[in-house]
Amino acid sequence: MRLLLLLLAILPLAMAAPKSSATDRLAIRYDYFKVYSLFIENEQQLEELKEIYKDISVHFLNELAGPGHSYNIIVGPLLQKYVEGKLNELKIIFKVIVDDLQKLLDKSAVDKDSQMEWESYHTLDTIYDWVDKECAAHDYLECKVIGQSYEGRDIKSIRLSKREGNKAIFLEGNIHAMEWISSATVTFLLNELINSEDPEMQRLSEEYDWIVVPMVNPDGFVYTHEVERLWRKNRRPNGATNSSGLCYGIDMNRNFDYHWGGAGWNIDEPCDHWFGGHEPNTEIEILSLQSFVSSFEDGYIRSYMAFHAYGQYVLLPYGHSNTEFPPNYEQMKRIAAAFSDAASEPYGSAFTYGASGLLNYVVSGAAKDWAYGVKNIPFTCTVELRDKGTYGFFLPSNQITEVGVEVAAGLKGLVNKAAEEGIFD
């Protein structure tokens, strides 16, 4: 039975093989694939959902954290009737939130020849070309290649410093390949700091140094553009195999050496999306990022902000526990509240804030926890960007600018509150 279900799941992909048209972006297409939102009420339903994950080839977009949460899954056309029947049998409440995933993906089609702007998603080459041009145009920007990815692509950094003696804020993007809105938002913020005529944004660019790594996972990002839009990890073969062959990649936001491996769903399954590695600090991209952060003198970087999708959260340390909190947790909550209040002003977007292990799910080895627990940076967070599940990881490109505007507003509120709280002293 399971073999039949696997074949039924794979068949739509084979039938939807990519055309030769130059407009096709991906080798894998999702024509008529549906995205379902499931609400899991209790532990029994959660266990049944795990069995579905084991036995039926559907794509889970979220880690299974516990009951009382909604989870999104992608189901191919030949399996949809079976899955809906199974969910009804288990009395799991569900709804279809995307009728045809490929149509949604096509709304964010990438023009490979486009110049950098924030109405479209862009390729790695376009993003890096823009970074290089900005670096060449402004002497207060110090730009470095901090390392290479497993496949040999550059990992680039930009440091904006207009005045000696400033403290620094670190912005990190696209550690998860499929979260295109992450690097789009980080580059939007960098562009505002460089080119905006907004007096408040220019004041922030004068009074603070800004260190930006817009693309931590270039291999995975390129792979999402060329082969598999749903890819999350990096692209190093991890030594495991399954029925499809070699298993690739580590979830690099599970690979930092701070309470590594202590919690998280399927972080020990090498062929799964959330595999945290056989041990911490195995990935060259993560080692390059850590080495770069550590190259600055202690006390210089006062805030570390990692940008992800989705859910509209400001997630604070710790991730590995829902009962243990940082010594200055209340202070960090006040700063996160300032982000949330300010970010809601442009369009009414509500950001929930608090410890990630408490609000989201318990998971170990994240960048923000390493930055706080190992590097002693006093305010760290993961900002989960739009939306709350309507589009999820596939946010249409016509929302990029709005996301940038609301996050820039939130950033102003956050920095001003952090200064009031003495974070930059």
Q: DSSP for 109-146? A: ---TTPPS-SSS---HHHHHHHHHHHHHH-TTEEEEEE
Which pLDDT value is given to residue 11?
39
Taking alpha carbons only, the member of 279, 121, 209, 253 closest to residue 424 is 209
% residues pLDDT > 70 (the chain) = 94
- Cβ atoms < 10 Å from Cβ of 398: 11
At which residue do the structure tokens 């009414």 appear? 348
Compute φ and ψ for 337, nearest 5 degrees: -60, -35
Helix (H, G, I), strand (E, B) or coil at 74: strand
Tens digits of per-residue pLDDT, 204-255?
999 999 999 999 999 999 999 999 999 999 999 999 998 889 999 999 999 9
| Average confidence score pLDDT of the chain | 92
Active site residues: 384
Taking alpha carbons only, the member of 64, 78, 87, 74 closest to residue 34 is 74
- pLDDT of 291 > 90? The answer is yes
By the 8 A CB rule, do 351 and 312 touch? yes
Which pLDDT value is given to residue 26?
55
d(CA 36, CA 56): 15
Q: Which of 46-55, 266-275, 400-409 has the highest mean pLDDT?
A: 400-409
Q: Which domains are delineated in the chain? A: 2-106 (3.30.70.340), 124-221+280-420 (3.40.630.10)
Which pLDDT value is given to residue 303?
98
pLDDT class of 262 with cuts at 50, 70, 90:
confident
Compute φ and ψ for 326, nearest 5 degrees: -65, 155
Which pLDDT value is given to residue 18?
36
Tens digits of per-residue pLDDT, 334-385?
999 999 999 999 999 999 999 999 997 788 999 999 999 999 999 999 999 9
Which pLDDT value is given to residue 266?
84
Per-residue pLDDT averaged across 174-193, rounded?
98
d(CA 217, CA 234): 6
pLDDT class of 60 with cuts at 50, 70, 90:
very high
Which pLDDT value is given to residue 138?
98
- pLDDT of 321 > 80? The answer is yes
Helix (H, G, I), strand (E, B) or coil at 148: strand
Tens digits of per-residue pLDDT, 14-59?
333 333 333 344 589 999 999 999 999 999 999 999 888 888 878 9
d(CA 308, CA 183): 9
Which pLDDT value is given to residue 95?
95
Token pair of 336, please?
Answer: 């996160």
Which pLDDT value is given to residue 272?
93
